[in-house]
């Protein structure tokens, strides 16, 4: 399942996982030469430490609530909110309420060898 | 409001518009050299005829239900589902239930003159 990437025109479910969140897995949903879309599970209390991505990024909160740190500030990213980052912007996430986020990375680089 | 584009690190609200949908406006939320994110309102019965985009596209249904045509087939795109298209894939949308969709276009071309 985790290895399946959507074909163009294929419907992909990104509805909230709800009670199944803690059994959920991080999964890449779309992978092309320049585009990567994945769902990332972030239970309350877990952190994804400072990192950066070589490419523009959109992080969308699909459910729950996440503390989002970038540009020297902490903000709450709540269900139905998204944030855009330029390439190489350092950022970190922490689950405040059990959360899953949709991460979309656009890279001029090729994702696939 | 429609002219404001999010800065990197700025939280953007893409929650369902609900009862306010019909007063909603199509708005570009993020615009960079290679990336455009906009919200598109599609009330029940309205159509967005066949078109194509020079760039990879993700269409995510934020609320309601949309008939999505691409690759010679019609599919329902429901709240919390998304679909990815390769550049220049023709596609069309029709509102089945009052809908708003989040459209993300990644282009190797520059969006801004």
Nearest-5° Cα angle at A70, A108 to A41: 80
Structure-token pair, residue B11? 């939280």
Residue of A nearest to B16 (CA): A80
What pLDDT score was predicted for residue A110? 62
Establish, for the pair of chains A and B, how many residue pairs have beta carbons separated by less than 8 Å. 115
Give pLDDT tens digits for A7-65. Answer: 999 999 999 999 999 998 899 999 999 899 999 999 999 999 999 998 999 999 999 99
pLDDT surpasses 90 at B109 = no
Task: Give one DSSP letter per residue of A1-30, joined into a string.
Answer: -TT--PPTT-EEE----GGGGGG---EEEE
Residue of B nearest to A106 (CA): B106
Residues from chain A contacting residue B16 (CB–CB below 8 Å): 80
What pLDDT score was predicted for residue A109? 61
The number of distinct structural domains making up chain A is 1
Cα distance between residue B87 and residue B54, in whole Å = 5
Residue of B nearest to A7 (CA): B84
- The number of CA neighbours under 13 Å toward the Cβ of A31 is 13
Mean pLDDT within B90-111: 90
Can you point out the beta strands (E) in B23-113? Answer: 27-31, 35-42, 47-51, 56-70, 73-78, 81-85, 91-106
What pLDDT score was predicted for residue B112? 57
- Mutation target to probe the A interface, by most A beta carbons within 10 A, among B32, B90, B106 is B106
User: pLDDT confidence of A107, banded at 50, 70, 90?
Assistant: confident
Average pLDDT, chain B: 92
Give pLDDT tens digits for B42-86. Answer: 999 999 999 999 899 999 999 999 999 999 999 999 999 999 999
Question: Is B86 buried (19+), middle (13-18) or exposed (0-12) by CB count in 10 A?
Answer: middle
Residues from chain A contacting residue B86 (CB–CB below 8 Å): 8, 32
Residue of A nearest to B77 (CA): A11
Q: Which residue has the higher pLDDT, A109 or A96?
A: A96
The answer to whether residue A111 is domain-embedded is no
CB B35 to CB A106 under 8 A?
Answer: yes
Q: For tokens 């992909």, what's the residue?
A: A12
Distances (CA, A) of A72 to A7, A66, A89: 38, 16, 11
Cα distance between residue B105 and residue B57, in whole Å = 5
What pLDDT score was predicted for residue B60? 98
The secondary structure of residue B6, as a DSSP letter, is P
Residues from chain B contacting residue A10 (CB–CB below 8 Å): 83-84
- Mutation target to probe the A interface, by most A beta carbons within 10 A, among B56, B73, B82 is B82
Cα distance between residue A84 and residue B34, in whole Å = 13
Cα distance between residue A90 and residue B9, in whole Å = 10
The domain in which residue A69 lies consists of 36-106
What pLDDT score was predicted for residue B110? 61
pLDDT surpasses 90 at B12 = yes
CATH of residue B78: 2.60.120.10
Whether this prediction's pTM lies above 0.80 is answered by yes
pLDDT surpasses 70 at A98 = yes
What pLDDT score was predicted for residue A111? 65
Mean pLDDT within B92-99: 98
Cβ pair B37, A58 in contact under 8 A: yes
Residues from chain B contacting residue A34 (CB–CB below 8 Å): 56, 106, 108
Residues from chain A contacting residue B108 (CB–CB below 8 Å): 34, 108
Question: Is A48 buried (19+), middle (13-18) or exposed (0-12) by CB count in 10 A?
Answer: middle
The answer to whether residue A16 is domain-embedded is no
The answer to whether residue B27 is domain-embedded is no
Cα distance between residue A102 and residue A84, in whole Å = 12
Q: Which of B56, B81, B91 sits opposite A14 (nearest CB)?
A: B81
């Amino acid at each position: 399942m985790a290895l399946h990437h959507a074909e163009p025109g294929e419907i992909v479910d990104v509805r909230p996982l709800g009670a199944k969140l803690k059994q959920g897995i991080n999964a890449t949903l779309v992978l092309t030469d320049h585009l990567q879309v994945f769902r990332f599970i972030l239970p309350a209390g877990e952190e994804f430490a400072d990192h950066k991505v070589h490419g523009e990024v959109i992080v969308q909160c699909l459910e729950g609530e996440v503390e989002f740190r970038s540009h020297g500030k902490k903000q709450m990213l709540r269900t139905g909110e998204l944030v855009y980052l330029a390439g190489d912007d350092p950022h970190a996430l922490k689950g405040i309420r059990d959360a899953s986020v949709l991460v979309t990375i656009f890279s001029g680089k090729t994702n696939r060898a």
